[in-house]
């Protein structure tokens, strides 16, 4: 195994934090996620139920549904054991997500995923059946009065206005969430679900526990949920992650 392969295979050295066992099939893709902001808002359950396909049950925390807007940088995206390529493996990504269960299994349901890499968008739409969109995106990292700060801008290439302009950064020490806590519920998710051609598909992922930090954010524009007809009200729950290595399995019915 190459050094590159061992780097991601080492994520499987720590599995006790998972809420369920990882897939026994071989994993096929590796990725690193960097400069990541989790921003979550409470959405009324009845409203969320209207925008999530009926095939899924809403996964609630103390009776509340949450929607997340998550900007970050994709790094080292490549098939297993294949070195990353500068023109394919590094790009900004932005997702809008909520939490569901299917057949008793908790996971992530994505409303949208935006990226500025047309090849990656095509691959994800074709082979992972996920709602990826091409977007013009820009991510600048600098040091300001609040320490490290990331200015993140995105505008989807579509007639529907779907855009984000936010500046954010870490605001405290790294910690791990406790099982049963809201932090754990919002972040420690180890599979995704998608619906295509009338069938539910599941894709498993794995990584070590999230190295979470408290975060701050200043929102110049956030229209990421406009296509859903939702409104984001109140202050979001914020978490920052500097970097995490991940592995992914092929999706399956």
State the Cα–Cα distance between residues 93 and 70, nearest whole angstrom.
8
Model pTM?
Answer: 0.94
State the Cα–Cα distance between residues 44 and 64, nearest whole angstrom.
7
Give me the helices (H) in 28-181, please: 45-51, 118-127
Domain residue ranges of the chain, discontinuous segments joined by +:
3-248
Continuous segment of H or E residues that includes residue 9: helix 3-9
Rounded to 10 degrees, what is the CA torsion of 82, 86, 92, 97?
-10
Radius of gyration, CA atoms only, the chain: 17
Cβ proximity of 236 and 203 under 8 Å: no
Q: Which CATH superfamily is domain 3-248 in?
A: Acetoacetate decarboxylase-like (2.40.400.10)
**Mean pLDDT per 10-residue run, the chain (253 residues)?**
72 93 93 97 97 97 98 94 83 97 96 94 93 96 86 91 96 96 97 95 97 97 94 95 97 93
């Amino acid at each position: 195994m190459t050094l590159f392969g061992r780097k991601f295979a080492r994520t499987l050295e720590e599995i006790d934090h998972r809420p369920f066992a990882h897939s026994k099939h071989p994993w096929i893709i590796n990725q690193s996620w960097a400069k990541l902001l989790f921003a979550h808002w409470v959405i009324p359950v009845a409203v969320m139920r209207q925008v999530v396909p009926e095939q899924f049950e809403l996964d609630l925390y103390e009776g509340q549904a949450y929607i997340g807007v998550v900007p970050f940088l994709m790094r080292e995206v490549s098939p297993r054991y294949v070195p990353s390529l500068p023109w394919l493996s590094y790009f900004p990504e932005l997702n809008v997500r909520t939490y569901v269960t299917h057949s008793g299994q908790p996971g992530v349901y994505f409303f949208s995923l935006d990226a500025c890499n047309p090849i990656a968008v095509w691959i994800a739409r074709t082979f992972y059946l996920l709602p990826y969109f091409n977007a013009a995106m820009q991510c600048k990292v600098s040091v300001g009065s609040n320490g490290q700060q990331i200015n993140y801008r995105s505008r989807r290439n579509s007639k529907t206005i779907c855009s984000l302009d936010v500046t954010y950064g870490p605001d405290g020490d790294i910690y791990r969430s406790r099982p049963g806590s809201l932090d754990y519920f919002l972040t420690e998710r180890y599979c995704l679900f998608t619906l295509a051609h009338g069938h539910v598909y599941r894709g498993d992922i794995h990584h070590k526990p999230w190295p979470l930090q408290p975060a701050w954010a200043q929102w110049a524009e956030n229209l990421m949920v406009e296509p859903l007809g939702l409104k984001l009200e109140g202050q979001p729950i914020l978490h920052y992650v500097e970097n995490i290595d991940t592995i992914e399995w092929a999706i399956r019915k």
